[in-house]
Amino acid sequence: MRASRVVAVTVAVGLMLWGSSAAFAAPPSTGVPADIKETPSEDGSELTPEEAARQAAQEPYSALANQVSQISAQSDSGHVVSGKIEVSAKRYAVTWAGEVPRELADLVAVAADQGINLEIARSAHSREDLLAAAMELTQAVPDFAGMSVSLEEDGSGLIVTPPVRNDESSKEALASSVEKLRTRGIAVTFDTTKPPAIDAG
């Protein structure tokens, strides 16, 4: 089997809705998040009243997500790192790296008028810094088979799934690289519950 280096990145706006989640590759999409775009009934018929009501409830969140994405794409001072939509709680939480632009701050009142609590949290690190840190980790390990690195939703650091061949040289190289990142204020946690990512091609 041929091993592959895997770096999974969570950066899109509106990643979670109705308890479901999805991961997107950088850069974040400026379109409607896949979880909440309009979809017909599975059998091609018209929407049921329940489906129509759910879709109507999602529409303001979809519009809000688009606005946040557009502001991020046009901003010179920062960008959105992640977003989480909770329709049942009437909440949209956005993590932002850099200075929060006035356009984004103004959206809080706009969302409130629609009964949505738009929460903006500052990310400790930019998406670019975390991507660079993720690559630094994978490149430090001689045998990275099955190793994966993903970004924390709040931009605080990285989540690492250790490599399959966890020999002494790999352990030492990974530990050394993790320590360097932590001294720079980038949090690194290990997830040993996920199965290793192997490319069997």
- What pLDDT digit, counting tens, does each position of 56-95 carry? 888 999 899 999 999 999 998 888 888 889 999 999 999 8
Burial class (CB in 10 A: 0-12, 13-18, 19+), 189: exposed
Measured between alpha carbons, how far is 33 from 55 in angstroms, rounded to an integer?
A: 13
Tell me phi and psi for residue 4, to 5 degrees: -130, 145
The pLDDT tens digits for 50-64 are: 888 888 888 999 899
Residue tagged 């850099």 (tokens) = 98
CATH 3.30.70: which residues of the chain?
A: 127-190
* pLDDT value of position 18: 30
Give the model's pLDDT for residue 92.
Answer: 93
Banded model confidence at residue 139, pLDDT cuts 50, 70, 90: confident
Q: Tell me: pLDDT of 196 over 70.
A: no
- For the domain bounded by 127-190, which CATH number is listed? 3.30.70
Question: What local confidence, expressed as pLDDT, does residue 43 receive?
Answer: 52
Token pair in block for residue 171: 């352990």
Among candidates 159, 190, 200, which has minimal Cα distance to 8? 159
Instruction: Look up residue 23 and give its amino acid.
Output: A
5 vs 108: which has the higher pLDDT = 108
Which letter does DSSP use for residue 193 in this model?
S
Gap between the Cα atoms of 92 and 83, Å rounded? 7
Secondary structure of 69-99 as H, E, C letters? HHHHHHCCCEEEEEEEEECCCCEEEEEEEEC
pLDDT at site 110? 94
The CA distance from 138 to 67, in Å, is: 35
